[in-house]
Amino acid sequence: MQSPKARLDLLALDRVSDKVVVARMRVVNQDLREIDFGTTLAASATVSAPGTTDANAVSAIALLDGANSRLHYPLLGTDGKCLCTQVILPKVPPGTSLDLAAAFPAPVAGVNSLGVVFPGAPPLLDIPVVDRPGGTLAVKAGQAAVDPTKVPTRDAQIFPVIATVENDSSAEDDTGTELSVRMSADVLFALNKADLTPRAQKVLKDVAAKIDKSTGSTVRVDGHTDISGNDAINNPLSERRAKSVESELKKLVTRSGVTYQSKGYGSSQPVASNDSAKGRQLNRRVAVTFTRPKPAAVQTPLPAAPSASPSGLVAKIQAAPPAGHVGNWPKSATVRFDGLRRGGAGYAVLTWTVRNDGPATLDVNSLFTADPGDTYRGNSVSGVVLTAADRRYRALRDNRGECIGPRFEVVDGSIKQVAKGEELTLSAMFKLPDDLTSVDVEVPGFDKVEGLPVG
């Protein structure tokens, strides 16, 4: 079945009070068939705590406060109903449109633009917020509009947005306020040992340099293991490893007034599944967390190097699926990268189109998902990675492990099924340095594409 053609129009982004922002959108069906969104627009109950989401509404739409790296989901009344359009399994007939609205917790004072993250569509970045006090919104057909400022609500659902940058020995998780450097225990220590290896010295020197640039006074050092062994072994081992890293950082950090807090957690706080070798390797780690250093001032970035094809670079599918892939592997397919568009605060949106040229219908459900042992939850676009030099930029996620992009487990089947000769456009968000002008793109199971300009 052909992937549907729809257009998303943002009609308004209004600050109706100092605590509430209302977004108004319109989905226009430009296809010749009905679009069935299924549960695509509803927040995922699999990653949300009970009572924090409404599956019978467009509760998956979110606002991105890029200045503070926070993702705002719609407000819930004390009755558990979303202050947003209440529609179950929304359908849009051909040639018609569907108006949607949602009330969100407002960002802090001084934030005058936001991004709009709409499931299944590329995010809209840097949208001005207009002060328009007193606005109301209709939440259910046939009922009177409500004033979102007068409805008692539950706690706001606001989640940190995590930007992860990896290299061969460590990964940096940036939440906007804190930087957490996850270092592989396999790099730092020998098996079941707590003495630092020679290779660990260079890794810790890099961490110490970042701590010296930080303004925070506290550094947390947390040791973790996988589930191999038992608590009697893992807990003291993780404690000793944390202490070893703390001791070395005290020698390397030159800034005064820094307090260290080290603790071992054994296997109790995994960041990935212990069911795979990759997941267990990620769980064997020491994490050093401290106040995020202020980004260095940079000159205006140079324009990207000239390219015969600044967008539309194509990657062909490989003959064999990547390790861990679940489901049928297509015989013939391509990915065309339509562009990498930069917004404010370092955020960038990558869009690409997958085309199926094989005889069988292509199901994108797990096609772009990272290794099952990775730190992301569910089927998404988490496997698409941008690389530059020795650094790997991962798609943004929240602190629940949910990738900010399509969540294929809730996408209607007709949308993620791509027939022969048909195409489907997808997107993912990243956070990139201001001076980065081009990247390489890696997609699981497809050829690597080099030199995609950052526009």
β-pair partners for 431: 347
351 vs 41, residue with greater confidence: 351
pLDDT band at 225, cuts 50/70/90? very high
Q: Is residue 300 assigned to a domain?
A: no
Residue 246 has pLDDT above 80, yes or no: yes
**Mean pLDDT confidence for 89-108:** 93
Q: Tell me what the pLDDT averaged over the chain comes to.
A: 89
Q: Is residue 296 assigned to a domain?
A: no
**Mean pLDDT confidence for 78-103:** 92
Q: pLDDT above 90 covers what percent of the chain?
A: 68
Residues 6+ apart with CB under 8 A from 265: 222, 223, 224, 235, 238
How far is 160 from 176, CA to CA, in rounded Å? 8
Q: What pLDDT sits at residue 434? A: 92
The strand order across the sheet containing 423-431 reads 313-316, 333-342, 347-356, 423-431
Phi then psi for residue 15, to 5 deg, are -90, 100
Whether 333 and 428 map to the same domain: the answer is yes
pLDDT in tens, 135-154: 899 998 878 899 999 999 99
pLDDT band at 392, cuts 50/70/90? very high
Residue 77 has pLDDT above 50, yes or no: yes
Q: Are 167 and 391 in contact (CB under 8 A)?
A: yes
Q: Is residue 437 assigned to a domain?
A: yes
| Structure-token pair, residue 50 | 């009970």
37 vs 411, residue with greater confidence: 37
Which residue has 């050829």 as its token pair? Answer: 447
Residues 6+ apart with CB under 8 A from 251: none
Q: What pLDDT sits at residue 48? A: 65
Q: Is residue 301 assigned to a domain?
A: no
Question: Which of 261, 291, 321 is the endpoint of a domain?
Answer: 291
**Mean pLDDT confidence for 328-348:** 92
Instruction: Give the CATH number, domain containing residue 327.
Output: 2.60.40
Domain that holds residue 369: 313-453
| Structure-token pair, residue 70 | 């926070």
Cβ atoms within 10 A of the Cβ of 254, count?
10
pLDDT in tens, 212-221: 999 999 999 9
Instruction: Give the CATH number, domain containing residue 261.
Output: 3.30.1330.60
3-state helix, strand, coil in the chain (%, to 5): 10, 35, 50
Domain count, the chain: 3
Whether 104 and 234 map to the same domain: the answer is no
Residue 405 has pLDDT above 90, yes or no: no
End-to-end CA distance of the chain: 33
Whether 392 and 438 map to the same domain: the answer is yes
Q: What's the distance, CA 127 to chain centroid?
A: 19
Q: What pLDDT sits at residue 307? A: 42
Q: Is residue 41 assigned to a domain?
A: yes
Identity at 402, one-letter amino acid code: E
Which residue spans within 267-393 are E strands per DSSP? 285-291, 313-316, 333-342, 347-356, 362-363, 385-388, 391-393
| Structure-token pair, residue 25 | 């959108």
Whether 136 and 255 map to the same domain: the answer is no
**Mean pLDDT confidence for 192-202:** 94
Whether 137 and 12 map to the same domain: the answer is yes
- DSSP per residue, 339-369: EEEE-GGGEEEEEEEEEE-SSSPEE-TTTTP
Q: What pLDDT sits at residue 300? A: 43
Which residue has 């709009």 as its token pair? Answer: 116
Whether 60 and 200 map to the same domain: the answer is no
How far is 368 from 356, CA to CA, in rounded Å? 14
Whether 93 and 183 map to the same domain: the answer is no
pLDDT band at 296, cuts 50/70/90? low
pLDDT band at 134, cuts 50/70/90? confident
Question: Which of 123, 156, 189 is the endpoint of a domain?
Answer: 156
Whether 147 and 208 map to the same domain: the answer is no
Whether 375 and 416 map to the same domain: the answer is yes
Q: Are 222 and 289 in contact (CB under 8 A)?
A: yes
Q: Is residue 230 assigned to a domain?
A: yes
**Mean pLDDT confidence for 198-225:** 96
Residue 317 has pLDDT above 80, yes or no: yes
Residue 308 has pLDDT above 80, yes or no: no
Whether 258 and 188 map to the same domain: the answer is yes
Whether 127 and 22 map to the same domain: the answer is yes
pLDDT in tens, 357-368: 999 888 888 889
**Mean pLDDT confidence for 232-260:** 97
Whether 323 and 238 map to the same domain: the answer is no
Residue 83 has pLDDT above 60, yes or no: yes
Q: Is residue 161 assigned to a domain?
A: no
Q: Is residue 104 assigned to a domain?
A: yes
Residue 311 has pLDDT above 80, yes or no: no
Question: Which of 259, 291, 323 is the endpoint of a domain?
Answer: 291
**Mean pLDDT confidence for 196-205:** 94
How far is 347 from 193, CA to CA, in rounded Å? 40
